[in-house]
Structure 1
Amino acid sequence: MRSRTILIVDDEPRSREGIKKILRVWAAGQYDILTASNGGTAMQILEKIPVELMITDIRMPEISGLTLVRQMRERLQRQPSVILISGYAQFEYALAALRLSVVDYLLKPVGREKLIASVENALKVGEEQEHIVFMRKMADPQLMAIREKEAVLSDSVRQAMHYVETHIEEAISLQGVAGYVHLNGSYFSALFKEQCQMNFSEYVIRRKLQKAKELLLKTNLPIAEIASRTGYQRVKYFNKLFKEYEGMSPGRYRSMRNEVEAQIQ
């Protein structure tokens, strides 16, 4: 597990080292505290090392703190949280910080308690953003599209979706669900496809695999147990379906959890 990193960027040595000293005591070894005296050096660090939080002064020669944040937003795939510090209470700075989605804007001199509170909040915001990005990657976009228009679906289709949700561990057939919603099988099949732009059988597979992905990432259950909990008694068939829809094996998908955890730890 790699160390987590906080980067302090300030051209004033006294301010830079003062913040570093406060955060080093607060971090108690849980974070690496790096410093840079200018925006160019900071950008080099950001491009080489995953940084959870950057604290940067706004007014610096050559590359200002605002310019540094803009460059970071354009170049980096993984975005650290940002706290801006300034010796000047200018409205324009605060407005620019807001536009750049900066977590906090602090005025010098920054007191110890205020600095630590701001850092803890910024790190929490960063973790929440990482989690949101991760969950979006995990979610099936076609299932999300159906969920977004659930309010306009017919009662029969909504009831069928609820049935799938509550019987995810069972083998689910079109005829069985059509009987549950009191419709003819052929009519139900056509109705579901018309409203969801997806065959009912494909919906069931995608929903079961979505549940399987959640179990793979959130538990340490054996893959055979996960297959069983999503209604597949034959693990070989479960693996085949999973690879067909996700482009990788269940084991490889599970390893993504460790990779993401390594990024946010």
Structure 2
Amino acid sequence: MKYFVVFIFLLFSTVCFSQNDTLVTNIKGTVINNETKLPIGNVNVINASRVKGTTTTASGTFEIAAKVNDTLLFTFIGYENVKVKVTNDWIKEKITKIYLSEKTYVLDEVVIPKYNLTGYVEVDTKIIPVASDGYRFNISGINLGYEAGDKSPGAVSKILGSIFNPTDLLYNVFGKRPNEMKKLKAMKKDDTIRNLLATKFDRVTLATLLEIDKDDIPMILENCNYSEYFIKTANDLQIMDAISACYEDYKILKKNK
């Protein structure tokens, strides 16, 4: 009987611990400049696991819903991004300090090409090169159309050939990542995340939120026939919307096959 009571107690303790381990609760913290040791306000705090975001107050404090093993992403202009795992100690103590370090920039030499302009608009517009990327083609039955690098007749054929390719290259991108695509939909609804991505051009934040490799993003967009110019110049919010639109179009095409 004694051993039975001990067994029941241990079993009950294990169940309680497991429940606490998966419990979503509000955790608090303070974001601090690693060099000056002063708090940093307006830092974006994103729970990448739950696709929820907030910002720090003027005194550097924040509060966000999380559970053990969730990944929090801290990002602020001019500072290195920091990813932190939520631990049991953080849940118990309720508050912790996060340190951000300022980025160090090394600027490359900038060479400005010389153009011999005449002063006549009709002539000068032909002298100055204009980027020819970014043409989009609307295809019946698809929401937004597809982009290609030129407007030659062969460009449309290339797009159609890629979309209806029997090997379904897009399945390798989207079909194997259903969880990431669900998170993508959640990200589109969160204003904090959308506003953050609108200021980003490095793909790091977007890749972290989708839990994919940063180098996969150009591959995804290439399979969706977005031009090299768009892939290089769009901000992370535009990239997110492009991936989302391509995914929805892919589902329509897959369903109609």
The TM-score, its normalising length taken from structure 2, stands at 0.18
The TM-score, its normalising length taken from structure 1, stands at 0.18
Q: Say which structure is richer in strand.
A: 2
Q: Say which structure is richer in helix.
A: 1
